[in-house]
Amino acid sequence: MIGPLAKSTGAILEKRSTLDFPMEKQALPDSYRGKLRLDMSTCISCRACERICPNKTITMVDVMTDKGKKVMPQIGLERCLFCALCEEVCPPKCLTLSKDVSFNEVEDKRALLKRPEELE
């Protein structure tokens, strides 16, 4: 049987189980879902993402592009489940979930409402 002193000494010599955050970052799996990204040049304004969203966090808004006015998705990140249904249903695959996990602290939740221009 190992004594308490031997256990303590062994624990000190073991590899750490935590990371030195923020200098060290945990490796994310391939299936990780982070912030939404929108390729405005390929969006066809089909509204499929808006219809499929279970939390109704996607609304379509008017945006001026070089080809005129189009409707594109605006995302309310405060309600987003990161379920990826919008990504799956998007015909041109212009709406994707990235691995970006850097969500900034906000004092007003209106800052979490992202217009299409902010999703690029």
Using DSSP's 3-state secondary structure scheme, residue 87 falls into helix
pLDDT at 100: 77
User: What is the pLDDT tens value at each position of the chain, 120 positions in all?
Assistant: 577 887 777 777 777 677 777 777 777 777 778 888 999 999 999 999 999 999 999 999 999 888 889 999 999 988 889 899 999 999 999 999 888 777 777 788 888 888 999 887
Q: What is the pLDDT of residue 95?
A: 93
CATH number of 27-119: 3.30.70.3270
CA distance 48 to 41: 17
The residue extents of the domains of the chain are 27-119
Place of tokens 């004092």: 107
